[in-house]
């Protein structure tokens, strides 16, 4: 059952949440003394409810996508029959209540707002009701992912650490601005690319993703080129840094990531679902790597 629960939680998204929040939480730090027990407790208070909310969002999507997942992702526990609908509903309800309860207990308005926005957008994305089920519409689906991954994660958790943990006034820094802009592009790519391997099930069940309407190859190369442009912009930002270590880390790091992306992208068989899915997971690894570089942007 642990393996099934692990797949139900969509671990690549949980890892992205953990790395993203941890990276953004480092941005307010000005010196080594800021790495206090208060900082680590504040970070844990951010991570715990956010991981639970992440599981709620991906779990809810599976509850409403069972038939689609039988075509697109038959390995997921609801689609495969390893979990019953009752089990799925129990897990999703439990993690949601725990997440909201923690958000209230920890008394950090930006943290609670992040959880609330994630809950609302995750719900309208998946739930099959009038005016909801935004995943059926490519623009609305991408907007949901972009707002949470690119804007809420960067701003809410930065303010949580800066003001409610370290007790400092909120200010827009170079690294925070870079994180918001770069992750807007990256989150858009993830939102677009995740549908490329799933065109068969999406087309059959009327999900009008960009991959269904424009074709897999066009969306594939659009995503690759968007990331390459973002890496090029990151090189310019790195080169303009007044700090030598920042300059070196950001230029070298983004050059390596852009090179890996280009080499891997050229070897993908767009007609093969397994090849596309493998490349999609590679994009998530680039997403993780970017968060390791962001704290060096100064």
Encode pLDDT of 149-191 as tens digits: 999 999 999 999 999 999 999 998 999 999 999 999 999 999 8
Q: Which residues contact 92 (CB under 8 A, 6 or more apart)?
A: 55, 56, 59, 60, 63
CA–CA distances in Å: residue 116 to residues 101, 109, 187, 250, 274: 11, 10, 19, 33, 35
Backbone angles phi and psi of 208, in degrees to 5: -85, 70
Q: How far apart are the first and last CA of the chain?
A: 45
Burial 152-166, CB ≥16 within 10 A → b, else e: bbbbbbbbbbbbbbb
- pLDDT of res. 204: 65
Q: By the 8 A CB rule, do 60 and 54 touch? A: no
CA–CA distances in Å: residue 190 to residues 73, 82, 151, 174, 207: 17, 28, 14, 24, 17
| Cα distance between residue 23 and residue 272, in whole Å | 34
What value does the mean pLDDT take over residues 182-202? 87
Global model pTM greater than 0.85: yes
Q: By the 8 A CB rule, do 39 and 166 touch? A: yes
What value does the mean pLDDT take over residues 200-218? 77
pLDDT, tens only, 237-293: 999 999 898 999 999 999 999 999 999 999 999 989 899 999 999 999 999 999 999
Q: Determine which of 1-15, 203-217, 220-234 has the lowest per-residue pLDDT on average.
A: 203-217
Residue ranges per domain, the chain?
Answer: 1-171, 172-298
- pLDDT of res. 51: 98
- Comparing CA positions, the residue from 53, 133, 50 lying closest to residue 93 is 53
- pLDDT of res. 211: 82
The token pair that represents 214 in the structure block: 């424009």
**Domain spanning 1-171, CATH class:** mainly alpha
CA–CA distances in Å: residue 230 to residues 10, 181, 185, 225, 236: 26, 9, 7, 9, 10
- pLDDT of res. 201: 75
> Is the pLDDT score of 224 beyond 90?
yes
Q: Which residues contact 229 (CB under 8 A, 6 or more apart)?
A: 185
Return mean pLDDT, the chain: 93
What value does the mean pLDDT take over residues 7-19? 96
- pLDDT of res. 18: 97
The token pair that represents 282 in the structure block: 């590679």
């Amino acid at each position: 059952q642990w393996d099934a629960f692990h797949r139900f939680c969509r671990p690549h998204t949980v890892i992205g949440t953990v790395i993203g929040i941890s990276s953004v939480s480092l941005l307010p730090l000005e010196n080594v003394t800021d790495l206090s027990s208060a900082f680590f407790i504040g970070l844990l208070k951010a991570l715990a409810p956010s991981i639970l909310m992440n599981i709620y969002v991906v779990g809810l999507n599976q509850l409403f996508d069972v038939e689609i997942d039988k075509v697109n992702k038959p390995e997921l526990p609801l689609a495969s029959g390893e979990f019953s609908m009752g089990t799925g509903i129990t897990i999703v309800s439990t993690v949601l209540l725990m997440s909201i309860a923690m958000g209230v207990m920890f008394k950090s308005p930006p943290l609670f707002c992040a959880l609330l926005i994630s809950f609302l957008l995750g719900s309208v994305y998946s739930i099959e009701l009038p005016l909801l089920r935004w995943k059926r519409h490519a623009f609305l689906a991408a907007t949901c992912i972009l707002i949470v991954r690119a804007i809420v994660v960067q701003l809410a958790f930065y303010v949580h650490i800066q003001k409610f943990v370290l007790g400092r006034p909120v200010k827009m820094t170079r690294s925070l601005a870079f994180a918001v802009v770069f992750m807007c592009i990256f989150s858009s790519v993830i939102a677009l690319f995740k549908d490329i391997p799933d065109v068969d099930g999406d087309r059959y069940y009327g999900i009008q993703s960009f991959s269904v309407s424009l074709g897999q190859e066009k969306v594939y190369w659009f995503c690759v080129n968007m990331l390459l442009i973002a890496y090029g912009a990151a090189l310019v930002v790195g080169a303009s840094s007044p700090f030598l270590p920042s300059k070196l880390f950001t230029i070298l790091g983004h050059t390596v990531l852009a090179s890996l992306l280009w080499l891997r992208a050229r070897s993908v068989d767009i007609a093969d679902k397994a090849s596309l899915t493998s490349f999609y997971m590679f994009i998530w690894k680039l997403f993780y790597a970017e968060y390791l570089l962001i704290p060096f942007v100064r």
